[in-house]
Amino acid sequence: MDLMTAAHKTLPFDARVRVENLDNGRVTEVRINDRGPFVDDRIIDLSRAAAQEIDMISSGTAPVRIVVIGMPSTCRQVQVGAFRDEANARELADELEANGHAVHSERGPDGVIRVVIGPYDGPAEAERIRARYDGVIQPC
């Protein structure tokens, strides 16, 4: 919450994004480090520090323009699940391992366990796997 970060539904983790508050013209740069927002009419969820920088704290939301200014390296993993229940995460990880995938899972500071497969050497292979599992490509 105190770092210049944001959540986005599709951009890869570690992508760098410029966010402009269209109500006041203030701009900030953030790094994508989470998934969301999970509200239909929102495109990005800023950390408290980033929201404060573009004067969005009091309103909570604002119309914004986002521009991708940097993408992560070419090595990719695919996030195929996010769980609060450890048993559900382990069940998916076991299934993926049985299908020959290298599986990594970790509990984030938000308490969510993310199940990730890979790494894959290039974007084409990662995209094929992402489509198969309807996952989210993220950098290694």
Whether the CB-CB separation of 113 and 105 falls below 8 Å is answered with: yes
Pair type for strands 5-7 and 45-46: antiparallel
Of 140 and 110, the one with more pLDDT: 110
Per DSSP, 140 falls in state -
Predicted pLDDT at 67 = 92
36-68 pLDDT per residue, tens? 898 888 999 999 999 999 999 999 999 999 998
Same fold, 5-70 and 76-139: no
60-99 pLDDT per residue, tens? 999 999 998 887 766 678 889 999 999 999 999 999 989 8
Domain residue spans in the chain? 5-70, 76-139
Distance (Å, whole) CA 30 – CA 59: 19
Give exposure, 94-121, as e/b (b: 16+ Cβ within 10 Å): eebeeeebebebeeeeeeebbbbbbbbe
Pick the CATH number of 76-139 from 3.20.20.210, 3.60.15.10, 3.30.70.1070, 3.30.200.20: 3.30.70.1070
Phi/psi region, residue 31 (left: phi>0; alpha: psi -120 to 50; beta: rest), is beta
CATH class as words, domain 5-70: mainly beta
Q: 3-state DSSP: the chain helix, strand, coil percent, rounded to 5?
A: 20, 35, 40
